[in-house]
Amino acid sequence: MQSYTLSGGVQIPVMGYGCYNAFGAEIEQAVEMALEAGYRYIDTAEFYKNEPDIGPALDTFAGKREELFVLSKAWPSSFDNMEEACVRSAKNLHVEYLDAYLLHWPGTKEDRRLKAYGQLLALAEKGLVRAPGVSNFSIEQLERVKAEYGAYPAIHEIECHPSYHPVEMIRFCQKHGIQVISYEPINRTADLSLAPVLQLAEKYEHTPAQIVLRWHIQHDQLPIPKSSNESRIKENIAVFDFELSKEDMALLDTLDTGKRNGLDPMAFPPGF
């Protein structure tokens, strides 16, 4: 699989495997199937409560550690002690370092968020983290990071799918060398039944999920679909044998409703 070069020089595959909402043997087997199918970037978070299940699956990988990209995230409850949280995640994932570590949500307290980001940079200095990133930030919050520390995060993971396409944020990230990662890339299946997606699936002789994932890839919005099902895991990565035309990309761009699934990142999670 091809990769992008993050600011700082680390390579990240152009597609990843998402691990949210699957636990125990289900996620352990699914990650093994994903590695077998060719995924090299595994996306999880301490909040998903499945890092201890993913660690044994990563142990089965026959290739070199450098071929994997393991990403985890710190919940705002860990912002006062990022090193402890990072070491805990790495230990549970059976890795010596994380390829990327993100602030999972901005939290409502700017001072605490910026201090947590400073700790994240210190973890990168120590070699525990290769690429520092954030998730669910606003443009203003990204700019505050830059103002305080002189550089933008390498990664911004955000909700993004045809029916929620935050173009202003994506343009901002792409202009400043911040890699966008699209979470809920198929809108938890809701976008697979939209008429233009079905129409293009027929035209390109690929599945609706493949059409949507291909749209992300052609926009350089790295998608991380989750599936626990072997055939859908394989289906989702089989998107490198066709290309959507400019007109069909534009058609999918018309599906944006401006409405996200997730809660308002400026208020969620409450209490932080």
Ligand X SMILES: NC(=O)c1ccc[n+]([C@@H]2O[C@H](COP(=O)([O-])OP(=O)(O)OC[C@H]3O[C@@H](n4cnc5c(N)ncnc54)[C@H](OP(=O)(O)O)[C@@H]3O)[C@@H](O)[C@H]2O)c1
Contact with ligand X (CB under 6 A): which of 31, 34, 154, 209? 209
Contact with ligand X (CB under 6 A): which of 13, 18, 106, 162? 18
Residue 227 within binding range of ligand X, rule CB under 6 A: yes
Q: Which of 39, 41, 48, 164 is catalytic?
A: 48
Q: Which stretch binds ligand X (CB under 6 A): 53-61, 83-91, 165-173, 180-188?
A: 180-188
Q: Which of residues 15 and 186 has its CB atom nearest to ligand X in the complex?
A: 186
Residue 184 within binding range of ligand X, rule CB under 6 A: yes
Residue 137 within binding range of ligand X, rule CB under 6 A: no
DSSP state of 233: H
- Cβ burial, residue 179 (10 Å; 0-12/13-18/19+): buried
Contact with ligand X (CB under 6 A): which of 85, 236, 239, 252? 236
Residue 92 within binding range of ligand X, rule CB under 6 A: no
Q: Which of residues 105 and 152 has its CB atom nearest to ligand X in the complex?
A: 105
Alpha-carbon Rg of the chain, whole angstroms?
18
Q: CB of 142 within 8 A of CB of 168?
A: no
Report CA-CA distances (Å) from 106 to 123, 208, 237: 18, 33, 30
**Token digits for 50?**
């499945």
> Distance from first CA to last CA of the chain, Å, rounded?
38
Contact with ligand X (CB under 6 A): which of 135, 163, 179, 221? 135
Q: Which stretch binds ligand X (CB under 6 A): 15-23, 79-87, 108-116, 137-145?
A: 15-23
**CA 30 – CA 99 distance, rounded (Å):** 20
Q: Which stretch binds ligand X (CB under 6 A): 111-119, 142-150, 223-231, 247-255?
A: 223-231
- Window 41-70: residues binding ligand X (CB under 6 A): 43
Residue 15 within binding range of ligand X, rule CB under 6 A: no
**CA 185 – CA 159 distance, rounded (Å):** 7
Q: What is the DSSP string of 38-98?
A: T--EEE--GGGT-HHHHHHHHHT--S-GGG-EEEEEE-GGGTT-HHHHHHHHHHHTT-SSE
**CA 167 – CA 148 distance, rounded (Å):** 25
Find the residue with minimal CB distance to ligand X.
18
Measure CA 125 to chain center. 22
Q: Which of residues 128 and 208 has its CB atom nearest to ligand X in the complex?
A: 208
Q: Which of residues 5 and 229 has its CB atom nearest to ligand X in the complex?
A: 229
78 CB neighbour count, 10 Å cutoff:
22
- Window 139-158: residues binding ligand X (CB under 6 A): 157
Q: Is 48 a catalytic residue?
A: yes
- Active-site positions read 48
Which parts of this chain interact with ligand X (CB under 6 A)?
18-20, 43, 104, 135-136, 157, 183-189, 192, 209, 224-229, 232, 235-236
